[in-house]
């Protein structure tokens, strides 16, 4: 009797842990719910950046929308760093932290080993049409939106064929205006922004 009770208890525990893990995985494979009142920003739109986001004139700007508390954002750090290493001399990279928790720029730099300018201006998300993390907003040298979307189709950012952010950077560098992205590039996946309502 005791053995049976322990076995049932262990099976129940394994089932609960498995269910929680499955839910966490499944949740991030669904598109992020679009918040009420969301206004899409189309490629080619001029983005009026605030003065807090000063960048080098004549260089494209890559805005990395990041939430340190979002698992998807944390999985994405390696891919983001690879893009900075590959394009950092041609493109200005900025990190836009979107969270309700109190972090300083030094906290982000130290914790994630990111030595880049950091903004906490949540208005940048609205200006670029971003409502989840991690997301990219890539602006050309004239501050027109070239690409707003995902880094990759995979939650873990491991799928090389769907490196959408890399493809967008390469397209912008080659001055291509006709790059077509599929729905997985342009439909937001990840964590909803703090304060977003369905």
What is the Cα–Cα distance from 176 to 174, expressed in whole angstroms?
6
Q: Is the pLDDT of residue 107 over 60?
A: yes
Is the predicted pLDDT of residue 157 greater than 60, yes or no?
no
Taking residues 127-146, what's their average pLDDT? 94
Q: How far apart are the first and last CA of the chain?
A: 49
φ/ψ (deg, to 5) at 188: -70, 130
What whole-number distance in Å separates Cα of residue 6 and Cα of residue 37?
Answer: 52
Which fold, 51-192?
A: Glutaredoxin (3.40.30)
> Model confidence over 27-68: pLDDT tens digits?
556 778 888 888 889 999 999 998 878 788 889 999 999 999
Binned at pLDDT 50, 70 and 90, residue 124 comes out as very high
At residue 79, the 3 state secondary structure works out as helix
Tell me the HSE value of 60 on the side-chain side, using a 13 A CA sphere.
24
71 vs 15: which has the higher pLDDT: 71
pLDDT, the chain, mean: 84
Q: Please, is 95 exposed, middle or buried when counting C-beta atoms within 10 Å of its C-beta (0-12, 13-18, 19+)?
A: buried
Q: Which residue has the tokens 């409502």?
A: 131
89: tokens are 């001399």
Residue 149 CB partners (closer than 8 Å, separation 6+)? 135, 136, 164, 165, 168, 181, 185, 186, 188
Determine the pLDDT at residue 35. 86
């Amino acid at each position: 009797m005791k053995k049976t009770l322990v076995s049932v208890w262990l099976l129940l525990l394994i089932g609960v842990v498995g269910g929680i893990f499955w839910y966490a995985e499944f949740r991030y494979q669904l598109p992020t719910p679009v918040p009420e009142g969301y206004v899409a920003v189309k490629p080619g739109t001029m983005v009026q950046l605030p003065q807090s986001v000063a960048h080098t004139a004549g260089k494209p700007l890559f805005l990395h929308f990041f939430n340190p508390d979002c698992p998807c954002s944390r999985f994405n750090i390696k891919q983001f760093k690879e893009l900075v290493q590959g394009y950092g001399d041609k493109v200005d990279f900025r990190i836009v932290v979107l969270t309700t928790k109190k972090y300083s720029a030094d906290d982000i730099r130290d914790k994630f080993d990111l030595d880049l300018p950091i903004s906490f201006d949540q208005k940048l998300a609205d200006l670029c049409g971003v409502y989840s993390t991690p997301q990219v907003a890539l602006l050309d040298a004239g501050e027109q939106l070239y690409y707003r979307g995902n880094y990759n189709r995979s939650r873990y950012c491991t799928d090389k064929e769907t490196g959408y952010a890399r493809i967008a950077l390469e397209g912008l560098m080659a001055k291509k205006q006709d790059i077509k992205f599929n729905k997985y590039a342009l439909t937001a996946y990840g964590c909803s922004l703090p304060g977003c309502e369905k």
